[in-house]
Structures are given as structure tokens and as C-alpha cells.
């Protein structure tokens, strides 16, 4: 130690205290001041001059510049170029523009964090004309037809009973929502504290095995199960060509049958279920025997639908009488034959239309309102237009109600938040060793979504529905939902508040 000089000794002292060369220089100068004047009390400077970013005018100018950029993705260099402008340097007395490293420190001080952006409500197609038309003219009227008959649980714990003016003829309605979600084996949290001495670990490529969950949930019961808990509506499905295939509308219909059975076990004739489904194309599939003019032959022939598996159901004549689309088994000329589009139109009194061609080239009719071909004319008949998806017909055949959510509106389906909460806990678990352990983890995480959370989530979706009923846009609905997160409905003054806040 005798051979160590002043600088080396200062550096050792600084490093022992957890500091670096700058602190060592301060120690060096402090010691020399003491040697020159033992009576002096030099102060050790632990901090340098105040950073310019602490100047509110300076930081505000940077933030305003970022807003004027209008870019979702900006870099530190964008700020460097802004501060390098002569007028900006003159305004803030800058000798030169800062480097990118300094700018990144400033961004962190201004509460910016580099990483994946926060995901909110999806807006792709949210305000599309056809989507808004369905939301305002089909979904909302259907919702408010049954919403007064629902039991409500407010944020303060108050229970609001349903309004039943014609009880027992008018039953209570229970909001029963459905959706599907997929969990992945390698979907674990990515951020963690790692010591600098730790070595890189090998990781498995891809998302890993997947397990799809299809389930029903309601604010009255939670996840739909039997009274004794031994049966459940939940379906665990391992999708894939070499696994259990793919989840189809037929699979969903079988699950709906089970859900209806479990629901009626809880409410034997005392309540009506309002089933609500995602507006996915696979959910829109019609029954195999549903009326459809798409593949009908023009003339009589042995034909049993596109796939040749069943006779098409009867149509309806203009006077309301049923119209069998097949000849009877005892017909002398065409026993059990399909009548064909021409004969069907003739029986409806559309003799001129029966003489039209079977269809326009590739069924691309130039004028959607014109009687251009047999297929197009039948396609627009009232009974053909009235055909409903298979799951809607199934639910209504049991005396319950069914409705599709608007497309691009996941905020209206509160089961989405149930998925999110369960996946939050799923990602915290270690990577499963096999599919059995993965399924066990999924079930445990789903069951963490208790009834209190489910009711809170359903209230959030109800607030969004109320917002759209009042004419709010998507961004306005998000703002209002955050402001009144403890309510089920928005206050009457909400439009004035939105206008005052300047939310578009």
C-alpha cells in the first residue's frame, strides 16, 4: 500500500464506497484542501449541476414537439434534431444539441419507457359503417329489451332486483356470455431481475403446445357449472390437425346444449338465459337444412343440399302457408326429387322470374335490387332472408334468447377480462413440463376469477353498452368508463363532461 499514489488511493476509496472516478476526484481535491488549510471544512460535492430537463419550459417544449410529430414510433434522434435547430438553441441558450444518450435519460425523467405499448380497446373496424349500424340498430335494441329484467350488482355492493311487471309470465333474464381463448405452453412472463453474472439459458422456439378453452360465464353464477360442481360447461380443446381437429360450429352447438341443461338446473322455469356470442364467421353457420338458394339447381332433380346429406326445410308461400321444396315420395314423375328454383318460383306466383337464367356469371349480379336471375330472386325472398345461424335457432328452440355482439367490440363481452386476469396468473407460473400440467395450470388460473371480479367486469361492459346507447364514440366511451369505473351506468351529465374535456 506504501507505493500507491494519491490518485490510486482516491479511486480505491471511491470504489469501496460504491462510486467511480468522478467521486475519486472529489476526494482527491477535498484532501488537498484539508492539507492546505486544516481549519477549513470543505464540502464533498455529491451532485453536479442541475440537468436542463428540470427546466419546465424546456421539457414542455420537447413534449409539445413529440405531439406535433404525430408519430407512434419516435426515436431519441428526433429530439436531437429538434434541439439542433438554430432558433431552438437560441431560445434555450444551447451551445450544441445533446447526444442521444442524454436524450434517453431525459425521456426516462419525463416518464417515457421504451418497450411494448399498452394495449387498450381495439379500434380496427370499430367505427365502420356496417358495424355501427348493427350495434345501434340490432344489438342495443335487443339488449335494452331484456336489460331491465336482469339482476344487477353495483360497485358499492348494492343488489338491484329485476323489474318484472308481469311476473310470473315475465321471467328474470340472466346474462350468459360465451367466448373461446387459447393458452400457449411457452407464454410466460419475459421480464425478470437477472444478475450480471448469470449465463444465458437455452429457450424453446415458438409458442409451444396450445390448449383452447371454450366457456360460459354469467354475473349471477360465475363460470357455468352444475349445482354440485361435478359438471361444467367449460370445454378444453386441443386444436390441431394431428390432435383433436378444429373447433367447429357443430362443437359449439353441442356445448350450448350442455350449457342450457346446466342453466335450467339452476333456474328450473324461473329465469330466461340471454346467450351472447362473439360475432365470428364460424358462429354464423346455418343449420344443414336451412333455406339457401346458393347451390340450388334450376330444374327438378335428385338433390339433397350442397353436401347431399339432408333435405332442405320447407319454405313459406306469400300467403304464409308452408311450401315443401321436394316432391312427395309418391309423386309419379319425380318421387322425392328437389323441385328446382323454377318450380319454387312458379308456386310463389313469380312466373316471369321463373323464366330467368339460373344465375348471373359467378353469381356476381350487377344490380342487387334487380330481378336478374332465379338464384338472386330466391335469395331475396322473405323466408330465405329470415334464416338464422344454427346456434341462435338452437337457443331459441329451448325458449331462451340469443344475440351476437357487434364485431370489433371485445369491450362488450366481459369474459375477455376473465381471460386476461387468468392469463396474467398463468404467465407467472413455471413453464409446464407436459400438456397435463399445462391443463391443470389453466384450470387453476381460470378458477382464480371469482364471482366478485366477474360482476365487476360485467358492470364495465354494461357501462360501455350504456355509452354507445348515448351516442358516444369509441374513444369517448373509453374515457367515460375510466372516469366512472365504479358505476354500472353513466350519469346524465356525461355528454357535457365529454364536451368540456374535449374528447373526440
DSSP for 373-434, please give it. SHHHHHHTSHHHHT--BHHHHHHHHTT-EEEEPPTT-GGG-THHHHHHHHHHHHTTSPPPSS
Interacting residues of 451 by C-beta distance below 8 A, sequence separation 6+: 219, 221, 222
pLDDT digits (tens, 9 = 90+) for 295-336: 999 999 998 887 777 889 999 999 999 999 999 999 999 999
DSSP conformation class of 44: P
pLDDT digits (tens, 9 = 90+) for 203-230: 777 788 899 999 999 999 999 999 999 9
Judge whether 247 lies within some domain: yes
The reply to whether 436 and 462 lie within a common domain is yes
The reply to whether 272 and 418 lie within a common domain is yes
Which range (167-176, 197-206, 381-390, 434-443) has the least confidence?
Answer: 197-206
Residue 375's φ and ψ, nearest 5 degrees, are -65, -40
Write down the pLDDT at residue 167. Answer: 67
Judge whether 307 lies within some domain: no
Judge whether 493 lies within some domain: yes
The reply to whether 277 and 344 lie within a common domain is no
Number of domains in the chain: 4
Residue 131's φ and ψ, nearest 5 degrees, are -70, -45
Write down the pLDDT at residue 360. Answer: 93
Q: What is the distance between the alpha carbons of residues 29 and 47, in angstroms, rounded to a whole number?
A: 15
Question: Look-up: residue for cell 367515460?
Answer: 480
CA distances from residue 124 to 61, 121, 409, 462 in whole angstroms, order as listed: 32, 9, 10, 21
Write down the pLDDT at residue 25. Answer: 78
| Straight-line distance from the first to the last Cα atom of the chain, in angstroms, rounded to the nearest whole number | 71
Last residue of a domain, one of 385, 406, 427: 385
Write down the pLDDT at residue 284. Answer: 93
The reply to whether 43 and 69 lie within a common domain is no
The reply to whether 363 and 418 lie within a common domain is no
148, 175 contact by CB (below 8 A): no
The reply to whether 148 and 270 lie within a common domain is yes
174, 272 contact by CB (below 8 A): yes
412, 278 contact by CB (below 8 A): no
The reply to whether 28 and 90 lie within a common domain is no
Q: What is the distance between the alpha carbons of residues 63 and 76, in angstroms, rounded to a whole number?
A: 12
Higher pLDDT among residues 44 and 58, named by residue:
58
The reply to whether 160 and 224 lie within a common domain is yes
Q: What is the distance between the alpha carbons of residues 368 and 358, in angstroms, rounded to a whole number?
A: 15
Judge whether 294 lies within some domain: no
Pairing of strands 222-223, 210-218: antiparallel
Judge whether 472 lies within some domain: yes
26, 13 contact by CB (below 8 A): no
Write down the pLDDT at residue 488. Answer: 78
Judge whether 350 lies within some domain: yes
**Domain harbouring 160, CATH code:** 3.30.420.10
Write down the pLDDT at residue 181. Answer: 95
Write down the pLDDT at residue 68. Answer: 73
The reply to whether 42 and 74 lie within a common domain is no
pLDDT band at 120 (very low <50, low <70, confident <90, very high): low
Residue 1 has pLDDT above 60, yes or no: no
The reply to whether 183 and 244 lie within a common domain is yes
The reply to whether 65 and 37 lie within a common domain is no
Instruction: Count Cβ neighbours within 10 Å for each residue of 323-357 and write b for 16 or more, e otherwise.
Output: eebbbeeeeeebeebbbbbbbbbebbebeebbebe
* Mean pLDDT of all residues belonging to the chain: 87
Residues in the chain: 504
Other Cβ atoms within 10 Å of 120 Cβ, number:
10
Residue 406 has pLDDT above 90, yes or no: yes
Residue 2 has pLDDT above 70, yes or no: no
The reply to whether 149 and 271 lie within a common domain is yes
Domain that holds residue 371: 315-385
Within 13 Å, how many C-alpha atoms sit on residue 87's CB side?
Answer: 2
pLDDT digits (tens, 9 = 90+) for 416-425: 999 999 999 9
Higher pLDDT among residues 478 and 276, named by residue:
276
Judge whether 20 lies within some domain: yes
Higher pLDDT among residues 411 and 475, named by residue:
411
Q: What is the distance between the alpha carbons of residues 381 and 398, in angstroms, rounded to a whole number?
A: 27
Amino acid at each position: 500500500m506504501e507505493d500507491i499514489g494519491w490518485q490510486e488511493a482516491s479511486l480505491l476509496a471511491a470504489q469501496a464506497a460504491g462510486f467511480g472516478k468522478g467521486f475519486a476526484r472529489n476526494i482527491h481535491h477535498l484532501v488537498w484542501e484539508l492539507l492546505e488549510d486544516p481549519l477549513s471544512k470543505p464540502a464533498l460535492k455529491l451532485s453536479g449541476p442541475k440537468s436542463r430537463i428540470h427546466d419546465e419550459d424546456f421539457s414542455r417544449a420537447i413534449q409539445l414537439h413529440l405531439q406535433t410529430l404525430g408519430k407512434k414510433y419516435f426515436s431519441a434522434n428526433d429530439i436531437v434534431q429538434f434541439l439542433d435547430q438554430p432558433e431552438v438553441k437560441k431560445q434555450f441558450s444551447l451551445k450544441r444539441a445533446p447526444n442521444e444518450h442524454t436524450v434517453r435519460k431525459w425521456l426516462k425523467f419525463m416518464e417515457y419507457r421504451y418497450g411494448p405499448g399498452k394495449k387498450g380497446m381495439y379500434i380496427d373496424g370499430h367505427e365502420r359503417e356496417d358495424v355501427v349500424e348493427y350495434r345501434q340498430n340490432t344489438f342495443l335494441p335487443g339488449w335494452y329489451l331484456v336489460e331491465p329484467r336482469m339482476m344487477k350488482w353495483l360497485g358499492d355492493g348494492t343488489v338491484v332486483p329485476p323489474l318484472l311487471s308481469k311476473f310470473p309470465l315475465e321471467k328474470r333474464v340472466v346474462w350468459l356470455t360465451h367466448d373461446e381463448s387459447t393458452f400457449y405452453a411457452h407464454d410466460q412472463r419475459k421480464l425478470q431481475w437477472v444478475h450480471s453474472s448469470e449465463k444465458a439459458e437455452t429457450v424453446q422456439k415458438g409458442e409451444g403446445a396450445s390448449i383452447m378453452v371454450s366457456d360460459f360465464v354469467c354475473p349471477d353464477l360465475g363460470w357455468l357449472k352444475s349445482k354440485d360442481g361435478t359438471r361444467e360447461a367449460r370445454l378444453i380443446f386441443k386444436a390441431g390437425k394431428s390432435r383433436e381437429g378444429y373447433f367447429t360450429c357443430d362443437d359449439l352447438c353441442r356445448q350450448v346444449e350442455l350449457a342450457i341443461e346446466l342453466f335450467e338446473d339452476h333456474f328450473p322455469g324461473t329465469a330466461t338465459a340471454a346467450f351472447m356470442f362473439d360475432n365470428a364467421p364460424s358462429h354464423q353457420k346455418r343449420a344443414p337444412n336451412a333455406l339457401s338458394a346458393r347451390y340450388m339447381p334450376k330444374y327438378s332433380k335428385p338433390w339433397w343440399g350442397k353436401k347431399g346429406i339432408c333435405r332442405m326445410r320447407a319454405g313459406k308461400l306469400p300467403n304464409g302457408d308452408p311450401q315443401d321444396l321436394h316432391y312427395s315420395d309418391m309423386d309419379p314423375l319425380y318421387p322425392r326429387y328437389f323441385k328446382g328454383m323454377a318450380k319454387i318460383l312458379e308456386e310463389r306466383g313469380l312466373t316471369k322470374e321463373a323464366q330467368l337464367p339460373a344465375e348471373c356469371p359467378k353469381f356476381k349480379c350487377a344490380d342487387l335490387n334487380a330481378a336478374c336471375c332465379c338464384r338472386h330472386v330466391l335469395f331475396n325472398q322473405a323466408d330465405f332472408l329470415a334464416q338464422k345461424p344454427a346456434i341462435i335457432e338452437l337457443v331459441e328452440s329451448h325458449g331462451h334468447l340469443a344475440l351476437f355482439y357487434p364485431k370489433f367490440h371485445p369491450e362488450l363481452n366481459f369474459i375477455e377480462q376473465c381471460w386476461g386476469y387468468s392469463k396474467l396468473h398463468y404467465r407467472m407460473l413455471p413453464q409446464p413440463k407436459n400438456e397435463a400440467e399445462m391443463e391443470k395450470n389453466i384450470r387453476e388460473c381460470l378458477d382464480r376469477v371469482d364471482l366478485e371480479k366477474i360482476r365487476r367486469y360485467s358492470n364495465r361492459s354494461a357501462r360501455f353498452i350504456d355509452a354507445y346507447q348515448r351516442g358516444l364514440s369509441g374513444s369517448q366511451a373509453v374515457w367515460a368508463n375510466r372516469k366512472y369505473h365504479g358505476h354500472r351506468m353513466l350519469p346524465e351529465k356525461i355528454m357535457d363532461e365529454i364536451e368540456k374535456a374535449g374528447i373526440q
